[in-house]
């Protein structure tokens, strides 16, 4: 089996989708600027300047300043770094929990499967935001805790996907062959089942990332997510809950709104591209 040629073929296929490539370029650009924002911009995101508060966009402050004179451009990208970080970390957490429990449920079946999957069904009954808010009330708020809250919300979907895949792999002949050769459960799970769930996990990661940054934004908007002194795109938008800011100072909240939408949009495009890339039905070329 030649892995590099499969990878190359998939990349060719991914590349052929204009929307996916557009999404990838936009996403990487935003991620790059956010990560290196403190080196790229002249202003510090937390520097207070009471001489220049609530300035509209100008040559000096490209996106204006807020109530205590902080530069909005620098703040928006610093907030983006937190938003992206929470997105990536909570997807990683969801993958960890979901893959583990999903593999257990799918591989062993029986009461293990029943117990895990009934719990999954139940969590997925509730509107996500209700689960998020309840978890936030129990676990607390702040950047790290928000990662845990969103991770705990998102793993059931991973669990379902992995279980379904492991369930079908388990019955395949090469697994039966491995078992007759005396392979242990752990060996079969990690060497045979897990590699075959990669495609599902890759697709989930991109689309789950979209849900995660939207969830973080929602929590922070309600005041239950990222807390001062950190700020995320959601918490910058929540400033607009004050009517005067909403009406008179749109430059404070609008950029964060635009960046959330553009980031989620590009990640959605990437996700759809990946889904087509890994879908055997579209593998005709």
Q: Which is nearer to another protein, 175 or 252 (CB)?
A: 252
Decide: is 135 part of the binding site for another protein (CB under 8 A): yes
- The contact pattern for another protein, residues 139-158, with x = CB under 8 A and - = no contact, is -x------------------
Nearest approach in angstroms of CB 116 to another protein is: 12
Q: How far is the CB of 196 from another protein (least distance, A)?
A: 27
d(C-alpha 126, C-alpha 134), whole Å = 11
**Interface with another protein includes 4 (CB under 8 A)?**
no
Is there a cis peptide before residue 87, judged by omega within 30 degrees of 0?
no
CA torsion through residues 52, 54, 57, 63, sign: positive
Contact by Cβ (8 Å): 145, 135: no
Task: Provide, rounded to whole angstroms, the least separation between the CB of residue 263 and another protein.
Answer: 8
Residue 224 binds another protein, judged by CB under 8 A? yes
Other beta carbons within 10 angstroms of residue 55's beta carbon come to 19
Give min distance, CB of 72 to another protein, in A: 16
Q: Is 134 in the site for another protein (CB under 8 A)?
A: yes
Q: Given the complex with another protein, which of 175 and 212 has the nearer CB atom?
A: 212
Query: Which residue among 149, 157, 236, 264 contacts another protein (CB under 8 A)?
Result: 264
The 3-state secondary structure of 25-73 reads HHHHHHHHHHHCHHHHCCCCCCCCCCCCCCCCCCCCCCCCECCCCCEHH
* CA torsion angle 169 207 277 105 (round to 10): 0
Token reading at 61? 């402050």
User: Interface with another protein by CB under 8 A: which residues?
Assistant: 118-119, 121-122, 125-130, 133-138, 140, 210, 214, 217-218, 221-224, 234, 237, 240-241, 243, 246-247, 250, 253, 257, 260-261, 264-265, 268-269
């Amino acid at each position: 089996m030649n892995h590099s040629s499969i990878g190359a073929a998939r990349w060719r296929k991914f590349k052929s989708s204009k929307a996916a490539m557009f999404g990838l370029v936009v996403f990487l650009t935003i991620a790059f600027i956010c990560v290196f924002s403190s080196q790229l911009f002249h202003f510090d995101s937390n520097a207070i300047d009471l001489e220049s508060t609530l300035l509209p966009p100008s040559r000096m402050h490209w996106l204006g300043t807020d109530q205590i004179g902080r530069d909005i451009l620098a703040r928006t990208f610093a907030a983006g770094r937190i938003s992206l970080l929470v997105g990536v970390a909570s997807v990683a957490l969801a993958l960890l929990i979901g893959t583990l429990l999903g593999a257990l449920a799918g591989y062993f079946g029986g009461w293990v499967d029943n117990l895990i999957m009934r719990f999954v069904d139940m969590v997925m009954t509730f509107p996500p935001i209700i689960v998020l808010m309840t978890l936030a009330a129990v676990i607390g708020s702040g950047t790290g805790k928000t990662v845990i809250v969103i991770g705990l919300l998102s793993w059931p979907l991973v669990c379902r996907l992995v279980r379904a895949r492991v369930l079908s792999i388990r019955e395949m002949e090469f697994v039966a062959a491995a078992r007759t050769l005396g392979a242990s459960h752990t060996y079969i799970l990690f060497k045979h089942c897990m590699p075959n769930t990669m495609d599902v996990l890759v697709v989930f990661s991109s689309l789950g990332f979209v849900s995660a940054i939207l969830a973080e934004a929602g929590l922070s908007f309600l005041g239950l997510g990222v807390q001062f002194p950190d700020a995320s795109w959601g918490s910058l938008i929540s400033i607009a809950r004050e009517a005067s800011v909403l009406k008179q100072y749109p430059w404070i909240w609008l950029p964060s709104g635009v960046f959330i939408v553009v980031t989620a949009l590009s990640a959605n495009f990437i996700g759809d591209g990946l889904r087509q890339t890994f879908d055997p039905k579209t593998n005709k070329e």
